Homo-oligomer: A and B are copies of this chain.
Amino acid sequence: MIDTNPTALRDTLREAGLRPTKQRLALARLLLGGGHRHVTADDLLAEARAQGVSVAQTTVYNVLHQFHRAGLLKEVLVESGRTWYDTKTGSHMHLYDEETGAVSDLDQDPRALQILDKLELPDDVDVMSVDVVVRVRAKKNQI
């Protein structure tokens, strides 16, 4: 877990090779300041502006990419057309509700994750990530 007081956020950014600008600090606070979160670029932009942070859409996209490259965020691809970002960066699975579009973490028996970390893969490639998405729909209430 990342320390989230202002000074620590500054250091986190600097360690990632990113200048601690006003916008990056504000977005870092929103993303990393609370518990684990799943956000889209649009979510983050709206949230930032709702809190009075002055930031452009372009900057939100830039920052999400930079944080992703720096390992501070995980990209979650569950819909074609929108990219989700997850502040929980460790190995885990995702649940995707096809009806509401909601993304959530799936806490799972560690053995399942171990198996996925030990897949037999071609040895001429480096594995960047192993992404698991469980697509679900709410059960119709059938008493």
Give A contacts to B, CB under 8 Å. Answer: 77-83, 93, 95, 97-98, 106, 108-109, 111-112, 115-116, 119-122, 124-139
Contact = CB atoms under 8 A, between A and B. Distances in A.
Contact of A139 (B82, B109, B125, B129): B125
A126 B112 CA distance: 20
A136 B125 CA distance: 6
Contacts of A126: 136-139
Nearest to A76: B80
A75 to B, nearest CB: 8
A137 B121 CA distance: 12
Contact of A116 (B95, B97, B129, B132): B132
A95 B127 CA distance: 10
User: SS class of chain A's interface: helix, strand, loop or mixed?
Assistant: strand
Contact of A125 (B108, B120, B132, B137): B137
B130 A120 contact: no
A114 B9 CA distance: 42
Contacts of A132: 116, 130-132
7 contacts: A77-B78, A77-B79, A80-B83, A106-B121, A111-B115, A119-B134, A133-B133
Contact of A119 (B78, B106, B120, B129): B106
